[in-house]
């Protein structure tokens, strides 16, 4: 990437002395060379966009594409492009492919474009072989190849001894184990949150305690083994309380939440819109408000768009037969910015790196240029025109969002939407 000057950009970085300042920024050879009121360089590419803001680049810890095996859902190339144009310079890529990412070879396949694209992929390896929950996968070997955590994506660890052994083994190399919070024997084949609403809809419900029982079990195992445990996709008030108590007791436990869980409750299901079928299911308003409060207080360590493309034939069917999931990269910034405001949103989009022990970035002279570019003040209604993914199964259609990402500077490359 040749020299770039970003003209009159507002810097959002609470760790920088330039926070909330409007400055010119000169970037050369992946490094921020100069930050000043006015910078001129005839050899530099000029980027001047009205109301352009930037921050340290964003990271999402739970993104799904499809390749290998499900390229008709999403390819690596288009998925990476979608992430970058949505403001994400780094993503944690889930292992829910075919074959499942449970070997060094699978990890390296997921990283194959890291040297040539603006977006950096950090694979998550499967915790068990083929994500079947029976035998541990090659955890150490996958970490050596670049895996940042281990998860059988949205498959609960039914055998408690598997979790025990995984936590004990992973301590030897600082590995992070994830456990999806669901007691499968209680949930069975249910579709939505169990409540008066599910009765009215005539759909089988998953009670909140199916999540909480699993978390109680997992935390008891963690207390015995030690190690590091991450609980993704928390969705209930009582689950958060359990995690808060475990943290207070000194356990190394972190948790995450999907952005749509912060935005919606199960009342939106009355039209049987399969775009709003997700797992864990949308819960009631009390749970939603508890999740928002958990984000505000810091009990929740990560937010994720939980990007999960589905083909039309997997969504355009009766509600009971539709597969759960929504694309989310394109709507993540606008949804969070509407809920929490700009500074908190940027904090949420960058803080997950701490959980996964990734390098953090700051906007300072001499630092690596890893930046997300965005227009935070644009109010709009999210529509299919905003979707870059190969499939357009978004939960946010028709929703009023605030702010749009327009690109990134990372890996010595610029990726920018055409405005």
Residue 18 lies in a domain: no
> What are the pLDDT digits (tens) for 4-63?
999 999 999 999 999 999 999 999 999 999 999 999 999 999 999 999 999 999 999 999
Is 419 part of any domain? Answer: no
- In this model, does residue 193 exceed pLDDT 80? yes
Residue 352 predicted with pLDDT over 80: yes
Is the confidence at residue 344, as pLDDT, over 70? yes
DSSP state at residue 359: P
Handedness of CA 32, 35, 39, 45 (dihedral sign): positive
Distance separating alpha carbons of residues 322 and 120, to the nearest angstrom: 31
| Number of domains forming the structure of the chain | 1
Residue 2 forms part of a structural domain: no
Closest C-alpha to 130, from 175, 163, 109, 99: 99
CA of 298: how far to CAs of 144, 215, 244, 323, 357, in Å? 31, 18, 10, 31, 18
In a domain, 290, yes or no: yes
CA–CA separation, 389 and 24 (whole Å): 32
Q: Does the residue 409 lie in any domain? A: no
d(CA 390, CA 382): 17
Domain assignment present for 44:
no
How many beta carbons lie within 10 A of that of residue 182, not counting itself? Answer: 23
Mean pLDDT along residues 221-250? 98
Predicted pLDDT at 101: 98
- Is the C-alpha dihedral spanning 374, 376, 377, 379 positive or negative? positive
Model confidence at 329: pLDDT above 80: yes
Query: What is the share, in percent, of the chain residues with pLDDT greater than 70?
Result: 100
Q: Look at residue 114 and tell me if it is in a domain.
A: yes
* Banded model confidence at residue 2, pLDDT cuts 50, 70, 90: confident
Rounded average pLDDT over 145-171: 98
Q: Strand, coil or helix: what is 345?
A: helix
Half-sphere CA count of 140, side-chain side, radius 13 A: 6
Q: Of 333, 284, 297, 278, which is closest to residue 154 (Cα–Cα)?
A: 278
Whole-number CA gyration radius for the chain? 21
Distance, CA of 68 to CA of 229 (rounded, Å): 28
Angle, CA 324 vertex, CA 319 and CA 329 arms, to 5°: 130
Query: In CATH, what number is assigned to the domain containing residue 206?
Result: 3.20.20.140
Q: Is the pLDDT of residue 205 over 90?
A: yes
Which two three-digit tokens encode residue 277?
Answer: 């079928």
Q: Rounded to whole angstroms, what are the CA distances from 72 to 81, 281, 409?
A: 16, 25, 28
CA-to-CA distance for 297 and 264, rounded, in angstroms?
A: 20
Q: What's the rounded Cα separation, in Å, for the pair 70 and 79?
A: 12
| 193 is a domain residue | yes
Which letter does DSSP use for residue 125 in this model? B
pLDDT band at 1 (very low <50, low <70, confident <90, very high): low
Task: With beta carbons less than 8 A apart as the criterion, state whether 121 and 81 touch.
Answer: no
C-beta separation of 300 from 240 below 8 A: yes
Extract the tokens encoding 228. Answer: 């590091």
Range of the domain at 323: 57-355
The whole-number pLDDT of residue 419 equals 80
φ/ψ (deg, to 5) at 91:
-135, 150
pLDDT (average), residues 382-396: 97
How does DSSP classify residue 358? P
């Amino acid at each position: 990437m040749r020299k770039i000057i970003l003209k009159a950009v507002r810097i959002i970085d609470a760790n920088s002395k330039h926070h909330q300042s409007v400055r010119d920024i000169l970037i050369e050879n992946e490094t921020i060379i100069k930050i000043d009121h006015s910078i001129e360089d005839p050899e530099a590419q000029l980027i001047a966009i009205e109301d352009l803001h930037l921050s340290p680049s964003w990271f999402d810890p739970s993104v799904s594409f499809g390749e290998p095996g499900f390229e008709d859902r999403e390819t690596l190339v288009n998925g990476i492009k979608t992430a970058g144009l949505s403001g994400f310079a780094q993503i944690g890529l889930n292992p829910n492919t075919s074959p499942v990412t449970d070997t060094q070879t699978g990890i390296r396949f997921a990283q194959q474009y890291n040297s040539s694209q603006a977006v950096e992929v950090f694979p998550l390896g499967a915790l068990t072989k083929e994500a079947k929950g029976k035998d541990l996968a090659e955890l150490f070997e996958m970490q050596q190849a670049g895996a940042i955590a281990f998860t059988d994506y949205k498959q609960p660890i039914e055998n408690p001894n598997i979790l025990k052994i995984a936590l004990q083994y992973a301590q030897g190399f600082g590995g992070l184990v994830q456990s999806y919070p669901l007691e499968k024997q209680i949930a069975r084949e249910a579709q939505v949150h169990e409540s008066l609403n599910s009765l009215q809809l005539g759909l089988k419900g998953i009670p909140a305690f199916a999540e909480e029982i699993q978390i109680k079990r997992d935390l008891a195992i963690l207390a015995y083994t030690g190690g590091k445990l991450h609980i993704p996709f928390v969705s209930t008030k009582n689950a958060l309380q359990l995690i808060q108590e475990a943290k207070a007791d000194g356990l190394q436990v972190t948790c995450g939440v999907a952005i749509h869980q912060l935005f919606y409750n199960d009342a939106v299901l009355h039209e049987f819109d399969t775009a709003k079928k997700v797992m864990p299911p949308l819960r009631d308003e009390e749970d939603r408000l508890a999740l928002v409060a958990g984000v505000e207080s810091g009990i929740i360590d990560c937010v994720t768009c939980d990007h999960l493309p589905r083909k039309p034939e997997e969504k355009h069917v009766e509600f009971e037969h539709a597969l759960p999931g929504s694309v989310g990269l394109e709507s993540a910034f606008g949804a969070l910015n509407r809920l929490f405001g700009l500074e908190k949103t940027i904090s949420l989009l960058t803080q997950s790196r701490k959980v996964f022990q990734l390098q953090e970035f700051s906007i300072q002279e001499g630092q690596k240029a890893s930046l997300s570019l965005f227009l935070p003040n644009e109010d709009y209604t999210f529509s299919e025109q905003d979707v870059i993914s190969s499939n357009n199964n978004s939960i946010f259609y028709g929703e009023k969002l605030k702010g749009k990402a327009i690109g990134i500077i990372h890996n010595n490359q610029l990726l920018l939407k055409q405005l």
